[in-house]
Structure 1
């Protein structure tokens, strides 16, 4: 049984997308994954149906931070968790300062990720 929450994953690494999708599906969440910010933005229903976004910081084309800057201009932006294999403290401070829920470094601590997701979706 899936929960009503849909979590959107935007990461250019196929293994990360599929791994996170499988994990979240096993936890009862509905997921939708995209390989780029542009692919996500081209799917109008994806944002409307998203309860939470997991965004990789460095993507081919538009970065995860640029995508987030576009999204926060819209009303009712879902909570965002950033993930990164290359992020530094400045990037982390910037993302959190803009309103992101968390900034997690790869490899991702699954328990920490699930804790943030549960907390945000319960709010």
Structure 2
């Protein structure tokens, strides 16, 4: 039996974490959620088991962009989707230039989010 891909959400808003977890679980994914980048980094298995990360840009403590840089330095880092309620087109291009899959503004269009997730995870499965 194949395990469901695990998607990790790092967002300081409890309602966002809960809503995304519920959405992703209803679509067949396993999830982990963290309030801060620091809490995520302390859980060594969270990064090791992650198929994809959804990171809020503005977090308490370390920002989502700072967390991305630390994750990107790891061997075989998972793909990242950035989310924020405060972003603009400049933030989108900054995120893309860092190497993120995309940047989505809150409130998030769930169909768009799920499309990005499915495409990215399918592309990863096809790579050798």
**TM-score (normalised: structure 2):** 0.92
State whether structure 2 residue 37 is matched by structure 1 residue 37: yes
Report the count of equivalent residues. 123
* Deviation sequence 1:54-84 (CA, Å, 0-9, x none): 0000000000001001111111110000000
**TM-score (normalised: structure 1):** 0.96
Alpha-carbon distance in 1 for matches of 2:75, 2:3: 24
Q: Which runs of 5+ in 2 are unaligned?
A: 124-128
Alpha-carbon distance in 2 for matches of 1:3, 1:21: 17
Q: Which residue of 1 aligns with 2:49?
A: 49
Q: Which residue of 2 aligns with 1:88?
A: 88
* Deviation sequence 1:28-59 (CA, Å, 0-9, x none): 10000000000000000000000000000000
Q: Which residue of 1 aligns with 2:126?
A: none
How far off its partner does 1:87 sit?
1.2
Instruction: Give the 3-state SS of the residue equivalent to 1:51 in structure 2.
Output: strand
Alpha-carbon distance in 2 for matches of 1:12, 1:108: 15
* Deviation sequence 1:83-117 (CA, Å, 0-9, x none): 00001222221110011001000000000000000
Q: Which runs of 5+ in 1 are unaligned?
A: none
How far off its partner does 1:4 sit?
2.0
CA RMSD of aligned residues (A): 1.4
Instruction: Give the 3-state SS of the residue equivalent to 2:82 in structure 1.
Output: strand
> 1:1-123 alignment to 2 at 5 Å?
4-123=4-123
Task: Detail structure 1 runs of 4+ shifted over 4 Å in the superposition.
Answer: none
Alpha-carbon distance in 2 for matches of 1:19, 1:74: 28
How far off its partner does 1:3 sit?
5.0
